[in-house]
């Protein structure tokens, strides 16, 4: 295993890793170049947008749409299902995998995070991190300005109310709202 493969494997597996490793910084820069290109295409350039996303994402269904602007760290750890729609300003920090099922609808200004940082300032200042994956089931609607934290799993047939901060798992067939998000109704 090369040094680059080793640091990548550490990052995506949830081990503590050096976030300033040159191999990761090169990948981040390459992704930012692709994201810049995607975000600066004309809205009518749908085929060109899809081509960039096809190259960038880890996997996707046949039909999907991500509105500009979109931001992510690596892209290759993002997997979206069939019938995926994301409105403006989706941000995904994909140090670990982010897997979303079929028919997931995401409102504007949603953020999904997998990167974790130490609470202790001295350790945090050493630029060490770890990551925890995020899983989102099928038939999920995530309202505008929702934040989903590392390690969260959202089940199938879930609605997350606008402005919520999802700090823990949400069971299937639920409506969850608030900060922190809590299930207020079974669907």
21 is catalytic: no
Q: Which helix (H) or strand (E) holds 86?
A: strand 84-86
CA distance 152 to 5: 26
Render the burial of 91-117: b for 16+ CB within 10 Å, e for the rest: ebbbbbbbbbbebbebbebbbbbbbbe
Residue in 21, 54, 60, 117 annotated catalytic: 117
Catalytic site positions: 117
């Amino acid at each position: 295993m090369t040094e680059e493969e080793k640091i990548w494997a550490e990052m995506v597996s949830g081990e503590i890793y050096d976030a300033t490793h040159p191999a990761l910084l090169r990948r981040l820069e390459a992704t930012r170049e692709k994201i810049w290109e995607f975000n600066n295409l004309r809205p009518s350039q749908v085929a060109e947008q899809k081509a960039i996303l096809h190259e960038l994402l880890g996997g996707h269904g046949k039909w999907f749409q991500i509105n500009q602007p979109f931001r992510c760290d690596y892209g290759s750890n993002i997997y979206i299902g069939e019938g995926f729609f994301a409105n403006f300003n989706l941000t995904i920090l994909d140090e670990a995998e982010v897997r979303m099922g079929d028919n997931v609808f995401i409102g504007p200004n949603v953020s999904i995070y997998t990167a974790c940082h130490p609470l202790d300032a001295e350790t945090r200042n050493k630029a060490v991190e770890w990551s925890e994956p995020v899983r989102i089931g099928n038939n999920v609607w995530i309202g505008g300005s929702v934040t989903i934290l590392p390690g969260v799993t959202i089940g199938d047939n879930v609605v997350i109310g606008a402005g919520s901060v999802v700090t823990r798992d949400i069971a299937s067939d639920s409506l969850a709202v608030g900060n922190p998000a809590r299930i207020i109704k079974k669907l």
